Amino acid sequence: MPKGKLTFDHERCKGCGLCVEYCPQKILYQDKKTLNDSGYNIVSVSEPDKCIGCAFCAMMCPDSVIKVEVDK
Amino acid sequence: MTVKYEKTKGLTDKPLSYCPGCTHGIVHKLVGESLVELDILDRAIAIASVGCSVFSYQFFNCDAQQAPHGRACAEATGIKRVLPDNIVFTYQGDGDLASIGIAETIHAANRGENITVIFINNAIYGMTGGQMAPTSLIGQKTTTSQDGRNQADHGNPIKISEMFKTIEGVAYLERVAVNNPKNVIRAKKAIKKAFKYQKEKRGFTMIEVLSSCPVNWGMKPVDALKWIESDMIPNYPLGVFKDKGADDEKN
């Protein structure tokens, strides 16, 4: 069971990649094939099972794209 | 599943007007979160400045006013004196605060006005196209210092926090950065403390935030954050410069 669950508000994403850089598990990637309405490459999770729910990605996101839920 | 992190209610739903990877967004979130956590959002008044953050009155989910270039602290003074029970804060960049608005800011600090200043130091003029700011580093290339800033022609970078440390009216002064999660957590604590001090009517509080400007620095967003670590922090050391609350406890 993954400890954390990420939900993305893709339309707000500007594809800066800060979340990808600061994910300690390195499970985020920029989806080069998918664009949002503004024309930015959106971010997706490659291995959702490995998420530890640290919320570093959401903390570093300037545009509040990511919502983090954790098991308690 | 419980929610650990989501978009703060301290910000409106309007998409931010900043460039991709600009850390203005991170600082906006920290301000919004602090206002919500201290339960002062409904009586907060933001003063937007001129610069990239000119539209910040659309993003903070509280009352707001937009000041002419550099005059945010003067306007905050007036509003705070008329409405002393409200929480008044300015959100200014380095072109606004450290250049044209330095007189207003120093005098507001000297009078010990009970306001909070969020000062974004990104070492460049962002909105107008990457000109040299008072805070640009020696050797930094900008559109108005194409061979890099040099001390003989342009003087040294102004260190705002070091300067304001000596002013009596300042109750809390800290320099933070938002270049990695650890520093973001520290920045949040600092901003929250500044608002708490204002709530307790302790006096002038200012948080200087070392921030990035990927577009005008000519870097990718991630490289810009690394440049904060490698170049800005050695020139602008982080830390608490003044904390009247802690000093009072000691005495």
Taking the mean position of all CA atoms in its chain, how far away is CA B73? 12
Residue B81, helix vs strand vs coil: helix
**pLDDT grade for B247, boundaries at 50, 70 and 90:** confident
Predicted local distance difference test score (pLDDT) of residue B1 = 84
Predicted local distance difference test score (pLDDT) of residue B194 = 97
The closest CB to that of B3, out of A9, A18, A67, belongs to A67
Positive or negative CA dihedral for B223, B213, A23, B236?
Answer: positive
* B3/A41 Cα distance (integer angstroms): 26
Predicted local distance difference test score (pLDDT) of residue A37 = 94
Residue in chain A closest to B1 (alpha carbons) equals A71
Residues of B in Cβ contact (< 8 Å) with A64: 6-8, 11, 25, 29
Residue A58, helix vs strand vs coil: helix
pLDDT for B183 beyond 70: yes
Average pLDDT of chain B, as a whole number:
95
Q: What is the pLDDT of residues B36-75, one digit of tens each?
A: 999 999 999 999 999 999 999 999 999 999 999 999 999 9
**pLDDT grade for A71, boundaries at 50, 70 and 90:** confident
Domain edges within chain B: 24-250
| Domains parsed from chain A with CATH numbers | 4-70 (3.30.70.20)
Residues of B in Cβ contact (< 8 Å) with A43: none
Share of chain B above pLDDT 90, in %: 96
Average pLDDT over residues A27-49: 93
The alpha carbon of residue A34 is apart from the nearest alpha carbon of chain B, in Å, by 17
Q: Do B220 and A22 touch (CB under 8 A)?
A: no
Average pLDDT over residues A48-69: 95
pLDDT for B98 beyond 80: yes
Q: What is the pLDDT of residues B11-35, one digit of tens each?
A: 999 999 999 999 999 999 999 999 9
Residues of A in Cβ contact (< 8 Å) with B220: 17
pLDDT for B214 beyond 80: yes
Q: Which of A14, A28, A66 best tests the B interface by mutation, with the highest count of B CBs <10 A?
A: A14
pLDDT for B210 beyond 90: yes
Helices first, then strands: H and E counts in chain B: 12, 8
The alpha carbon of residue B196 is apart from the nearest alpha carbon of chain A, in Å, by 22
Average pLDDT over residues B132-160: 95
Strands (DSSP E) found in chain A: 4-8, 28-35, 41-45, 66-70
* B27/A64 Cα distance (integer angstroms): 11
Strands (DSSP E) found in A10-64: 28-35, 41-45
Top CATH class of B24-250 equals alpha beta
Q: Which residues 24-53 of chain A have a CB within 8 Å of chain B?
A: 40, 53
Taking the mean position of all CA atoms in its chain, how far away is CA B244? 20
Cβ of B194 under 8 Å from any chain A Cβ? no
The CA angle A34-A35-A41, to the nearest 5 degrees, is 85
Residue B65, helix vs strand vs coil: strand
What ipTM was predicted for this assembly?
0.94
Predicted local distance difference test score (pLDDT) of residue A1 = 61
The closest CB to that of B4, out of A55, A62, A63, belongs to A55
The alpha carbon of residue B228 is apart from the nearest alpha carbon of chain A, in Å, by 14
Cβ of B18 under 8 Å from any chain A Cβ? yes
pLDDT for A72 beyond 80: no
Average pLDDT over residues B111-136: 95
